[in-house]
Amino acid sequence: MSHLSHSSTSVADGTVSSISNIETTSDTAQLLSNEEASTSNYTQLNKSVNFEDSDDDEFHGSHGIRRRQPQQKIEPGSMNVLSAKYESLDYDTCENHLLLDEERKRGYAYIVWKDMARWFIILLIGIITALIAFIIDICIEEFSNIKYRELKKSVDKYVVQDKLYIPYLLWVLSNICIVFIGSMLVAYVEPVAAGSGIPQVKCYLNGVKVPRVVRIKTLIVKAIGVITAVVGGLAGGKEGPMIHSGAVVAAGISQGKSTTFNNDFKIFQYFREDHEKRDFVSAGAAAGVSAAFGAPIGGVLFSLEEGTSFWNQALTWRTFFGTVVSTFTLNCALSAYHGRAGELSFPGLLNLGKMEPFPFQFYELPVFMFFGVVGGLLGALWNYINYRLAVFRIRYIGTPWLRVVEACLVAAASATCGFLMMFLLNDCRPLGEDPTKVPLQLFCADGEYNALAAIWFQTPEASVRSFLHDPIGSYKPWSILTFVVCYFLLSAWTFGLAVSSGLFIPNLLTGAAWGRLLAIVIQAMLPSNTINPAKYALIGAAAQLGGVVRMTISLTVIIIETTGQISNALPIIITLVVAKWTGDFFNEGIYDIHIQLAGVPLLPWEPPPLAHNIYASEVMSHPVFTLRTVENVGHVVELLKLVSYNGFPVVDPPLADDVEVTTYKRLRGMILRSQLIVLIQNKIYNENANTTWSNFNVDMNMFRKEYPRYPSIDKLDVAEWEKTCTIDLRPFMNPSPYTLPHRASLPRLFRLFRALGLRHLPIVNDVNEVVGMVTRKDIARYRVWRHRGHMGMEELILSSE
Ligand code: ATP
């Protein structure tokens, strides 16, 4: 998507270039003469910013903002570029004549009906998300059992013949084959299904359309992908992908149609708009969390903390209903499957086993803080390694087949790590103490089994349970240390591969392992006290995960709900807060790192600090491409072909005696590209400029029918004679768009955008004439950076790709 950009810096083909504009519709000088120069100096950012050279490759602009040198080439994988390919969601309702007409005709019964439909949809979202979680869980469990049972048979058979390389090769081969299937699907069919999907869902909830993220195809690839990734022995989990799956389910059901399968069920048409769809997606993501962790409150808080920028009370209540339905349905299904239908003892996919409340002493609080610091440091290191790998992938592993090869390599490496550890570290323990399904004897004496083999010969989730619940002497410290190093590196390598898998479980596993290791150390230091390893393993797991993802509120609640012990809340909160602070000292959370690498214009919670001296006149684009209230069809078509902007201010037509084409025009409304396309597609225009729109039998459904994939302007068939017709935009435009004066500050712009979920904000002068345009990307360009206690603001570059 290439934009004609004016005041903002544009990058094409990796280098900064200025693109000329087709027509000038405004005259900066006019405004300057009206206003104080200090607040309306439009030219400041483009032309008269007084950059100073600095030691490194950046400039420091007039507001102490870090900027890149304009001629500097942008490396692939750069963190300070915003990609133009991401469009925004329109959370603001367009209150045009059609909407008012619809409301008038349908009355209050329609409102009640819509509300009931909303609850019904949430119910469906909860049930279907849970059923998907159930299928994924059962598949993973059954396939894993078969795989490890066969491998165990092979090990038992060949260990006596001294031919252990045979089971090793079998293990490697089975991993590669299984991962190959999922990886091929991700790499060739739907790349957006890679990873956990949490960064993408976070962007969507924040108001950014990530292409293809909530499509049914993505869901299918994701579900198969996550099964193959976990069964294939990768250091990944199924919990993150569940959140993405919930979001896709919500987006699909709420629209009553499938664009992928070209199927319109002609229901829920009134929810076919960004505002409604995004609300359902937040409920779906929450239902996904709830199914993944058996944490209904954690699910609601996750949606709130991780993404949803525009939130209201009704949405909270509905979302909570969805999460409760989801966890209840999953519980019923899993309990029935495990033959304990009446017990309802499987609330989520992640089952950490029954945790006892662990009493703690006052003097232990610093110990929990210490765990937080370790988690923060290890989390920051994990993020750094994963970030370097992600950049390497962007630069050198670009083609799908290379990505598949890499995934297979990691699958082989995972098996090799496990095998070497089992082979080299002979950590034996008596049979009967561990609930492992496939105890391997290997080189242990009769009646014993290899403790490390038990960890590797099961799903990572079952391994977390082992580290949490096994008695203190179950593992040798060296075995745990080797495992921590191996799994830490493997999990950092795995996240970002072309497979669908999450990072919750691998990090919980690494954390539980080093937590247990520290428990052994503490026990050695305090031999008189009996240490509860479960306590430290759980705190370690929370610290490691918190250090990586940097979530606090929702993660605390998720862990409390998963372990079912509210009395453990204080240690967990302390640990997570310290882990976040420690990690934030070095880098961002892993999701934010991936979002920045993708160049997504995400708006954070708060506006940049010390930015009250940056004015709308410096942030906005100008001149603005506008349309007149009654516009010539040919002109609209030409404009849509020429620029790829998605919104155009609608202004008064010039007066008959107005010979000056470059003057500002008074704002009358805002119209979207999608609306214009539907109007042209349905030929809602007149041969005569004086004919009004009431000649047409038009209602909101005309627009809803096309939502969300509108045809491109090049696909529309407009005859030459039609180009001389006119469109009356007044009934279709939003007649009261939010606007701000050009002297408004950046924090004010930010708050308006963030709180209302805006897509376009026309900037006006004192007489309501359009002088500029601000979109999400203009604001997201200003980003705060923090590094090792230092802080500042940098201005990102808007790339054309
Ligand atoms: P979005 O992509 O968020 O859905 P959009 O495509 O309309 O919205 P952006 O891609 O965010 O707009 O805009 C890129 C740049 O173009 C921004 O700097 C913005 O200010 C500018 N811009 C957007 N619309 C117009 C317009 N009608 N006239 C002039 N500049 C515009």
Write the pLDDT tens digit of every residue in 126-148: 999 999 999 999 999 999 999 99
The amino acid sitting at 570 is L
Nearest CA to ligand 1 atom 15: 5
Is residue 654 situated within a structural domain? yes
**Predicted local confidence at residue 794, as pLDDT:** 87
Q: Considering 597, 622, 657, which residue would you say is the last residue of a domain?
A: 597
Position 637 scores a pLDDT of: 95
**Ligand 1 contact via 26 beta carbon (within 6 Å):** no
Report the nearest atom of ligand 1 relative to the CA of 774: 20
| Å from CA of 777 to ligand 1 middle | 8
Give distance in angstroms: CA of 761 to centre of ligand 1. 10
Taking the centre of ligand 1 as the mean of its atom positions, its distance from the CA of residue 646, in whole angstroms, is 7
Asked if residue 657 has pLDDT above 80, the reply is: no
Measured CA to CA, the distance from residue 525 to residue 437 in angstroms comes to 34
Q: Are residues 331 and 448 in the same domain?
A: no
81 and 126 in a common domain = no
Is 8 near ligand 1, meaning CB less than 6 Å away?
yes
pLDDT at 15: 31
The answer to whether 492 and 178 are in contact (CB under 8 A) is: no
Question: What are the contacts of 391-399 at 24+ separation with CB within 8 A?
Answer: 391/77, 391/597, 393/496, 394/76, 394/77, 394/597, 395/75, 395/76, 395/77
Note whether 170 and 307 are same-domain residues. Answer: yes
Asked whether 776 lines ligand 1 (CB < 6 A), one says: yes
Q: Which atom of ligand 1 is nearest to the CA of 621?
A: 20
Residues of the chain with pLDDT > 70: what percent?
87
* Index of the ligand 1 atom closest to the CA of residue 644: 6
- Name the strand (E) or helix (H) holding 16: strand 15-17
Residue 565 backbone phi and psi in degrees, to 5:
-130, 100
Residue 318 lies in a domain: yes
- Substitution site in 777, 782, 798 for ligand 1 pocket (most atoms within 8 Å of beta carbon): 777
Q: For residue 498, give the 3-state DSSP assignment.
A: coil
The 3-class SS string of 47-111 reads: HHCCCEECCCCEEECCCCEEEECCCCCCCCCCCCEEECCCEECCCCCCCCHHHHHHHHHHHHHHH
Q: Separation of 637 CA from ligand 1 center, angstroms? A: 17
Q: What is the dihedral of CA 302, 304, 309, 310, to 10 degrees?
A: 140
Supply the pLDDT for residue 223: 96
Q: Assess whether the C-beta atom of 645 lies below 6 angstroms from ligand 1.
A: yes
| Cβ of residue 25 lying under 6 Å from some atom of ligand 1 | no
Domain shared by 30 and 59, yes or no:
yes
CA atoms within 13 A on the CB side of 325: 23
Question: Which pairing describes strands 630-632 and 647-651: parallel, antiparallel, or unpaired?
Answer: unpaired
Average pLDDT over residues 255-260: 81
* 626 CA closest ligand 1 atom index: 27
Round to whole Å and give the CA distance between 415 and 232.
Answer: 9
Residue 36 pLDDT exceeds 70: no
Mean pLDDT of all residues in 105-121: 93
Ligand 1 and 91: CB distance under 6 A: no
Evaluate whether residue 91 is within a structural domain.
no
Which SS3 state, helix, strand or coil, does residue 242 take? helix
- At 79 the pLDDT is 83
Q: Crossing angle of helices 590-597/198-206, nearest 10°?
A: 70
208 in contact with ligand 1, CB cutoff 6 A: no
Mean pLDDT of the chain: 85
- Is the beta carbon of 773 within 6 A of some atom in ligand 1? yes
Last residue of a domain, one of 597, 625, 643: 597
- 73 — pLDDT class (breaks 50, 70, 90): low
Q: Is 326 helix (H, G, I), strand (E, B) or coil?
A: helix
The protein residue whose alpha carbon is closest to atom 23 in ligand 1 is 645
Q: Select the more confidently predicted residue: 727 or 568.
A: 727
The answer to whether residue 262 scores a pLDDT higher than 80 is no
> Does the C-beta of 274 come closer than 6 Å to ligand 1?
no
Interval 505-526 mean pLDDT = 92
Helical H runs in 313-399? 313-337, 365-396
User: Which residue owns the Cα nearest ligand 1 atom 12?
Assistant: 645
**For residue 488, is pLDDT > 60?**
yes
Nearest partner of 737 among 626, 639, 636, judged by Cα: 626
What pLDDT, on a 0 to 100 scale, did the predictor assign at position 530? 76
- Reported confidence tier of residue 65, pLDDT bands at 50, 70, 90: low
First to last CA, the chain: 6
Does 753 contact ligand 1 (Cβ within 6 A)?
Answer: no
The tally of domains found in the chain comes to 3
Least confident of 23-27, 300-304, 570-574: 23-27
Within-domain flag for 99? no
648 close to ligand 1 (CB < 6 Angstrom): yes
Cα-to-centroid distance, 58 and ligand 1 (Å): 26
Domain shared by 121 and 207, yes or no: yes
Measured CA angle at 397 (ends 392, 402), to 5 deg:
145
Residues in Cβ contact with 518 at an 8 Å cutoff, skipping those fewer than 6 apart: 371, 374, 536, 540
Considering the domain architecture, whether residues 175 and 279 belong to the same structural domain is answered as yes
pLDDT per residue as tens digits for the range 535-555:
899 999 999 999 999 988 899
Find the 616 Cα to ligand 1 centroid distance in Å.
15
Indicate if 634 and 774 belong to the same structural domain: yes
Q: Is the pLDDT of residue 66 over 70?
A: no
Does 261 lie in the same domain as 372? no
Which of 639, 645, 646, 774 gets mutated to test ligand 1 (max ligand atoms within 8 A of its CB)? 645
| pLDDT at 318 exceeding the cut of 60 | yes
Q: What is the pLDDT of residues 560-575, one digit of tens each?
A: 898 888 888 899 999 9
Same domain? 70 vs 152: no
**775 touches ligand 1 (CB under 6 Å):** yes
CA distance 151 to 550: 38
Instruction: Return the structure tokens found at 314.
Output: 């009704």
| Same domain assignment for residues 38 and 178 | no
Q: At what angle do helices 198-206 and 296-306 cross, to 10 degrees?
A: 60
In a domain, 92, yes or no: no
What's the pLDDT at 250? Answer: 96
Q: Whose CA is nearest to atom 1 of ligand 1?
A: 87
Please give the Cα distance from 748 to 39 (Å, whole number).
Answer: 14
Predicted complex ipTM = 0.98
Residue 635 belongs to a domain: yes
Q: Is residue 354 part of a domain?
A: no
Q: How far from the centroid of its chain's Cα atoms is residue 199's Cα?
A: 2
Q: Could you tell me the pLDDT band of residue 76, with boundaries at 50, 70 and 90?
A: confident
Strands 58-60 and 65-68: antiparallel
> pLDDT-derived band of residue 48, with 50, 70 and 90 as boundaries?
very low
Kindly report the protein residue whose alpha carbon is nearest to atom 21 of ligand 1. Answer: 621
Residue whose CB lies within 8 A of the most ligand 1 atoms, among 2, 621, 739, for a mutation test: 621
Any atom of ligand 1 within 6 Å of the Cβ of 90: no
Assess whether the C-beta atom of 190 lies below 6 angstroms from ligand 1.
no
Query: Side-chain half-sphere of 596: how many Cα atoms within 13 Å?
Result: 19
Q: What is the CATH number of the domain that holds 170?
A: 1.10.3080.10
Does ligand 1 come within 6 angstroms of the Cβ of 691? no
pLDDT value of residue 445: 79
Q: In what order do the strands lie in the sheet with 647-651?
A: 627-628, 647-651, 667-672
Statement: residue 629 has pLDDT above 90: yes
The reply to whether ligand 1 has any atom less than 6 angstroms from the CB of 759 is yes
Ligand 1 and 647: CB distance under 6 A: yes
Residue 655 has pLDDT above 70, yes or no: no
* Distance from Cα 683 to the centre of ligand 1, integer Å: 26
Residue 529, both tokens: 């006290």
The verdict on the CB of residue 799 being under 6 Å from ligand 1 is no
Q: How far is the CA of 685 from the centre of ligand 1 (A)?
A: 26
What's the CATH code of the domain at 687?
3.10.580.10
CA distance 579 to 590: 14
| Domain enclosing residue 539, as ranges | 366-597
In the listed set 565, 597, 629, which residue is the last one of a domain according to the structure? Answer: 597
> Are 179 and 214 in a shared domain?
yes
Residue from 90, 773, 778, 799 to probe ligand 1 pocket by mutation (most atoms less than 8 Å from CB): 773
Share of the chain above pLDDT 90, in %: 57
Could you tell me if residue 577 is inside a domain?
A: yes
Residue 300 Cα to ligand 1 midpoint, Å, equals: 33
Instruction: Specify which residues 649 forms β-bridges with.
Output: 670
Nearest to 182 by CA among 258, 233, 131: 233
Please, are residues 122 and 325 in contact by the beta-carbon 8 Å criterion?
A: yes
H-assigned helices in 632-685: 633-642, 673-681
Return the pLDDT at 501. Answer: 92
Q: Is the pLDDT of residue 61 over 70?
A: no
Burial 113-128 (b: 16+ CB within 10 A, else e): eeeebbeebbbbbbbb
| Predicted confidence band of residue 666 (pLDDT cuts 50, 70, 90) | very high
The pLDDT assigned to 725 comes to 92
What spacing in Å lies between the alpha carbon of 592 and ligand 1's midpoint? 24
Per-residue pLDDT, 69: 56
List, for residues 190-242, the tens digit of each pLDDT value: 999 999 999 999 999 999 999 889 999 999 999 999 999 999 999 999 988 99
- Indicate whether 324 and 384 sit together in one domain: no
Q: Which residues pair with 670 in a beta bridge?
A: 649, 734
- Centre of ligand 1 from the C-alpha of residue 137, in Å: 44
